[in-house]
Amino acid sequence: SPFVVHPGTGRVCVPIDTKALEEFDPTTVPTVQQLLSEIDEWKADEEEPEAPQKSVQDWEKTSLKPYIDQFRSFVAGLIKDEKDVKVKRERDEESMDF
């Protein structure tokens, strides 16, 4: 399951890009402690506002963001494929009506 935390290492399970399997190094995935530090650092930088900023979710402030973006893209592709199949199925059913 993506985004669960390994109890022994504290590393976050992330989706793997199948197009770049050789480049994936499981020891470089973020840990919970690292993610918390990244959020804290972001908040420290935010205390000196230069211009009004939009609200940013905590996960967007971390090294987990590319993995979440990748997962969202994957899920969006599944949803699109499912909609395409559903539309085709509905067309096929309509063409069977006499």
Q: How does DSSP classify residue 2? A: T
Nearest one of 1, 7, 14 to 59, comparing CA atoms = 14
Q: Is the pTM of this model over 0.85?
A: no
Tell me which of 6-15, 27-36, 81-90 is least confident: 81-90
Report pLDDT digits (tens) over 13-62. 999 988 999 999 999 999 999 999 999 998 877 666 665 667 889 999 99
Token duo for residue 54: 């939009």
Closest CA to 12 of 32, 34, 38, 36: 32
Specify the pLDDT at position 88: 74
